[in-house]
Structure formats: C-alpha cells, structure tokens
Chain A
Amino acid sequence: MADPVSDHPHPESDTDAGVKSERRSPPSTPRWVKVFAIIVLALVVLLVILHLTGRGFGGHAPSGGYTPPSIVIAYIVQQL
C-alpha cells in the first residue's frame, strides 16, 4: 500500500495543494478522490441494476456445488 521509496516529497510535507500556512480547518477532499468515488458509485449502481434486471451473472453458487482444489490436484497426480 504505502510505498515510501520515490521522488515524492516526505509524507509529513504533504499539505494538500501546497498550502503551507497553518490552517484551522481540514483541507477539502481532493478532486481525484471525488472523481474516483463517483466512478465507484456508478459501477455499484450499474451492478445492482444488472442484478435486479436479471442480466447479471447471477449468484456465485452454480449447480454442482463447490469443488475443492484437492480434486484437481488428485486428477493431475493420477495422470502423471
């Protein structure tokens, strides 16, 4: 997540939009965060609509049930 090795200024020097004066209130949310949040929200709404209209990919439990990977390994070992 945090990758401190870069040419980015020291984390403590990040004062949001380069304002170095002593602010009394927190800085506003950056534009890129707002754009990101709108995109995520739009994707969530799209997914919900797809599921509600039955055009999504359905549930995650298709008929046949869950098969553990051990079956695959057993099959490959059997073939060797």
Chain B
Amino acid sequence: MTMSPRLRKLVLTMHITASVGWIGADAGFLALAVAGLTSPEAQLVRATYLAMGLIAWFVIIPLSLASLLTGLVLSLGTKWGLFRHYWVLVKFLIASFATTVLLVHTQPIGLLAGAAAETTLSSADLREPRLQLVVAAGAGLLVLLVNTTLAVYKPRGLTPYGWRKQQEQRKVSQP
C-alpha cells in the first residue's frame, strides 16, 4: 500500500518531529543525569531526579514510541519498504532497540524519582542506578545520532528481499 503524497508528508513531518524531539529530550535527560550524579547539593540532586522522572515518562517515552510508529508507517507506506534497503532495516532495528532499552530503564528512573520525592538523596545513595542512567542516556544519544546520520545519508544497499522485489517489478514493467 502506497500513501498519497499529502499523507506521506504529514507522517514524515510527525516522524522528523518525534525523532529530533527524542534526541533533544535525551540530551536534556543526560545533562540532568550527570548533574544528579556529580552535584554535591542535595536539593539540586532531588530536583534533578524528580525532573528526570517526569521527562522520561511524559516526553521521552511518548516521543520514542511516536518515532518508531511513524517510521514504521512511512517505510511500509512508501516504496522504500521496511525490509528492502539495509539502511531502513538497520534504522528500524536501532530505534526498536533504543525504545526497548528505554522501557527497561524506567525501573531505575522510577526508583530514583520515587526516592527523591520521599527523601533527600546524598551523593552516596543509589550510586549504581544513578551511574546506570548516565551511561544509558549517553549511549542512547549516540545511537540516535547514528540513526539520524543513516536517515540523511541513506547508504546504498539492497537486501536479498529488496533485490528479489526489484527483479519482480522489472519483469512486470518489461514483459
């Protein structure tokens, strides 16, 4: 099924907005995670994890799901297809992986946000999940930048499935 140009542009606008927004939100999340890990001020640390809890649940997770969904619709609704070109497939796998890792990390985010809401965290408290969030946010940002690069450069390469489909279409167009 191929989308009409108007619908394709609408979905593309949504996809770019969600994907770029995800990168920006992740960068902000990383800044907060570093501040939460390194700051000696208890009040700042507390505010940081409360903000991170909100950003994760109400900005990053919705944006990541929107990016994944609109990307899926775009690939399946255009001639690019999801399994025809390596760059589309790799980008989809990266986005799926990043979303899964994000959902797995809602647990330490929830733990820290909950602890910050109830008590004052000292620099020694919950060191492991705090470090985990810095690493996860940094790795997430790197992975999202790789995806953006793939989307812009679109490196060549047909998958065996894409090649077969191309051959079939050639046979149909050249009887």
Contacts and interface: CB of A to CB of B under 8 A. Distances in A.
User: Do A and B share a complex?
Assistant: yes
Interface in A65-80: 65-69, 71-76
Contacts, number: 140
Interface in B123-175: 126, 128-129, 131-132, 135, 151-152, 154-158, 160, 162-164, 166-167, 169-170
Contacts of A67: 110-111, 113-115
B36 interface: no
B156 A2 contact: no
B156 A14 contact: yes
Given A5-B12, A12-B79, A65 B111 contact: yes
Interface string B37-75: 000000000000010011011100000000000011011
B37 to A, nearest CB: 13
Nearest to B8: A4
B50 A1 contact: no
Interface in A20-72: 22-23, 26-27, 29-30, 32-33, 36, 57-58, 60-62, 64-69, 71-72
Contacts of B157: 14, 16, 27, 29-30, 32-33
A62 B53 CA distance: 16
A23 B72 CA distance: 30
Contact of A14 (B75, B85, B92): B85
Size category of the binding interface on chain B: 35 or more
Contacts of B21: none
Contacts of A3: 12, 15-16, 74, 151-152, 154
B57 A1 contact: no
Contact of A1 (B8, B82, B110, B118): B82
Nearest to B92: A1
Nearest to B78: A4
B163 A26 contact: yes
A67 B54 CA distance: 12
28 contacts: A1-B74, A1-B95, A2-B78, A2-B80, A2-B85, A3-B12, A3-B16, A11-B79, A12-B166, A14-B85, A16-B157, A22-B170, A27-B158, A29-B86, A33-B90, A33-B157, A61-B107, A62-B107, A62-B111, A62-B128, A64-B115, A69-B53, A69-B56, A71-B117, A72-B117, A73-B54, A74-B117, A76-B50
